[in-house]
Amino acid sequence: MLATVAQQAQDTQDTLAIPSVDAVALLPQLILMVGGLLLLTIVSLVKGRMPKSATTLYTVAIASASLISTIPLWHRVQNPAEGPTSLMAGAVGLDGFSLFVTWVICIGVALAALLGDGYLRREGLDGPEFYVLLLLSAAGGVTMASANDLIVMFIGLEALSLAAYVLAAMHARRIASQEAGMKYFVLGAFASAFLLYGIALTYGATGSTNLAKIQQFLSDSVLTQDGMLLAGLALMLVGFGFKVAAVPFHSWTPDVYEGSPSPTTAFMASVVKAAAFAGLIRVFVVTFPSYAVQWRPAVYALAAASLVVGAVLAVVQSNVKRMLAYSSINHAGFILLGVQAATATGTSAALFYLLAYTFMVVGSFGVVSLVGRGGGPDRHHLSSYRGLAKRQPVLALAFTLFLLASAGAPFTAGFLAKFGVIGAVVERENWSLAAIAMLSAVISTYLYLRIVGTMYFSGDEDDALERPKVRVNPAARVALTVAVAGTLALGIIPGPFADLAQDAVAQLVAAP
């Protein structure tokens, strides 16, 4: 299709310099997009005759294909002879960074799809649109991560977000889901406006929306009047801050995470967050390192506030899903530490964190989606977890692993993730932030212990043992197994993964 268009353009206008399309380099995104559209087509054609789990398998396959298609690209990028390139007239950056985020997104999509399988059936929501939206949203996320142009990034963000709004609101039988979608949408649109205004000001200040060009411009000339640029950065930070759920732009997070269907929540916490951070890093760390002196304190403030507010608010919750939502704000604070450092170390630490967090958070919300059933508003209440360890020791142990990993327990993914970002902060000799981070980790640990304690240490005395067992459908079992494996692998043999995260940022497209 693309080629045809280009061909036609070439025919009509000789002078039109259509950029060459390196389809292989775009494969990860194309697979997701085409996969989504194809699924849409298939289901509209063969509706009613498809086996129920086929869509799940299909989605996982597409995500895996996308993931696999990055491997040759990775080798290409890491090959010193070739290195990172920009494609499509400089709109897309193909570098280790974008590929790493693509992995995170693909893993998140696959796991969320697996979680969705049982959930949709259970809730009577058997619609393939869920998977279509997952794939298209992920395509938007990958676009965002690989965007080398602000406008492409914006469109990618919108694609990601619009799909996420729908995914949040798509549970027709729960008004809470629609409320969540509504809140997410209104605030998301509000934030998008800020982001866009920031892009506008940046455009005015630098004369381009292309990140490479912006960088070129900034390295060539010194702005004596940097007010417009700084205002633009500030407004973009509002937009990204919203997407990554940084305080004070976080307030949607608990409500939306709670109200959304749990697989969607897992998707939002992993994929959306990863893509948003990718955008944030691409814009701020990669493009505006020369303004790091100015923007770092602002990110510092967001990080510190997220760390503390997320942890403190999480502690007083009694709804497990909400607890995890607040804890995701705390985690966002941690990842912001890596951003705040504005160094290669910080970026690779943030990437590693995102990867680790994907496993932990998908696992956590996976368990939540299994345990929280029924119609009442308290289905995710802490008391639903009483005695879970007695009823279903394996499930409880898995949840414990995810929670402890979130707390940063040794030999889990969470530890090295935290270790990395703290290291990045320390490297910047930013002691106060490191201290705040670790203390917030202690506070949030209380929250994780509360859940673990409820599962393990209570329930002898009441009817906890007689509660019905939670049936773990095969897809969810696979998802949880993968999440467990990932959480442990990143903790016990983190070397290869940390290597990847490090290599991912060794050389970036927009970097001078």
Backbone phi, psi, residue 299, to 5°: -65, -35
Site membership for other proteins, residue 145 (CB under 8 A): no
CB 186 to other proteins: min, Å: 5
Q: Which stretch binds other proteins (CB under 8 A): 124-132, 275-283, 332-340, 361-369?
A: 124-132
- Do residues 382 and 454 lie in contact, with contact meaning Cβ atoms separated by under 8 Å? yes
CB of 79 to other proteins, least distance (A): 19
Tokens representing residue 338 in the block? 């890596």
Structure tokens, 431: 């002691």
Of 97, 502, 509, 510, the one binding other proteins (CB under 8 A) is 502
Per DSSP, the three-state class of 149 is strand
- How many CB atoms within 10 Å of residue 7? 10
Residues paired with residue 29 on neighbouring β-strands, in sequence order: none
Question: Is 476 among the residues that bind other proteins (CB under 8 A)?
Answer: no
Bridge partners, 319 (sequence order): 381
- Binders of other proteins among 295-334, rule CB under 8 A? 297-298, 309, 312-319, 322
> Residue 73 interacts with other proteins (CB under 8 A)?
no
Question: Is residue 140 near other proteins by the rule CB under 8 A?
Answer: yes
3 binds other proteins (CB under 8 A): no
Question: Which positions ≥6 away from 186 have C-beta within 8 Å?
Answer: none
Per CB under 8 A, which of residues 333..372 are in contact with other proteins? none
Q: Which of 103, 119, 154, 288 binds other proteins (CB under 8 A)?
A: 154
Are 101 and 354 in contact, with CB atoms under 8 Å apart?
yes
The nearest distance, CB 489 to other proteins, in angstroms, is 13
Q: Binding of other proteins at residue 474 (CB under 8 A)?
A: no
Q: Which amino acid is at 2?
A: L
> What letter represents residue 366's amino acid?
G
Tell me: does residue 37 bind other proteins (CB under 8 A): yes
Q: Under rule CB under 8 A, which residues in 419-448 are in contact with other proteins?
A: 419-420, 422-423, 426-427, 431, 434-435, 438-439, 441-443, 445-446
Would you count residue 105 as binding other proteins (CB under 8 A)?
Answer: no
192 near other proteins (CB under 8 A) = yes
Using CB under 8 A as the binding rule, whether residue 217 contacts other proteins is answered as: yes
From candidates 38, 50, 61, 155, binder to other proteins by CB under 8 A: 155
**Residue 485 in contact with other proteins, rule: CB under 8 A:** no
Place of tokens 């997952």: 134
Site membership for other proteins, residue 207 (CB under 8 A) = yes
Tell me the three state secondary structure of residue 466: helix
| 205 or 351: CB nearest other proteins | 205
Contact between 179 and 252 under an 8 Å Cβ cutoff? The reply is no
Decide: is 499 part of the binding site for other proteins (CB under 8 A).
yes
What angle, 0 to 180 degrees and rounded to 10, lies between the N-to-C axes of helices 320-341 and 431-457?
160
Which of 228, 344, 478, 488 contacts other proteins by CB under 8 A?
Answer: 228
Q: Which of residues 12-31 bind other proteins (CB under 8 A)?
A: 13, 16-19
The reply to whether 387 sits near other proteins by the rule CB under 8 A is no
Answer for which of 104, 105, 120, 139 binds other proteins (CB under 8 A) is 139
Q: Which of 24, 68, 71, 453 binds other proteins (CB under 8 A)?
A: 453
Near other proteins by CB under 8 A, which window of 50-58, 107-115, 162-170, 481-489? 162-170
The interface region with other proteins, picked from 45-53, 203-211, 275-283, 354-362 by CB under 8 A, is: 203-211
Rounded Cα distance, 242 and 244, in Å: 6
What single-letter amino acid sits at 488?
L
Type of residue numbered 361: V
How big is the site for other proteins, counted in residues (CB under 8 A)?
Answer: 160
Per CB under 8 A, 231 contacts other proteins: yes
Q: Distance (Å, rounded) from C-alpha 7 to C-alpha 250?
A: 46
Q: How far apart are CA 390 and CA 388, in angstroms?
A: 5
CA quadruple 441, 443, 445, 448: dihedral, nearest 10? -130
Q: Is residue 267 at the binding interface for other proteins, with CB under 8 A as the rule?
A: no
Give the integer Cα–Cα distance in Å for 330 and 324: 10
Q: Does 470 bind other proteins (CB under 8 A)?
A: no
Non-local (6+) Cβ contacts of 4 within 8 A are none
Min CB(67)–other proteins separation in Å: 19
CB of 510 to other proteins, least distance (A): 15
Q: Report residue 187 as tokens.
A: 């605030």
Among 85, 458, 473, 507, binds other proteins (CB under 8 A): 458
Asked if residue 180 binds other proteins (CB under 8 A), the reply is yes
Q: Which residues pair with 92 in a beta bridge?
A: 87, 147
Q: Does 255 bind other proteins (CB under 8 A)?
A: yes
Is residue 401 within 8 A of residue 361, CB to CB? The reply is no
Note whether 465 binds other proteins by CB under 8 A: no
User: Which DSSP string do the residues of 364-393 spell out, in sequence order?
Assistant: HHHHHHHH--SSSTTTTBGGGGTTHHHH-H
What DSSP string runs through 190-225?
A: HHHHHHHHHHHHHHHHHS-SBHHHHHHHHHH---S-
Binding-site member from 410, 481, 485, 512 for other proteins (CB under 8 A): 410
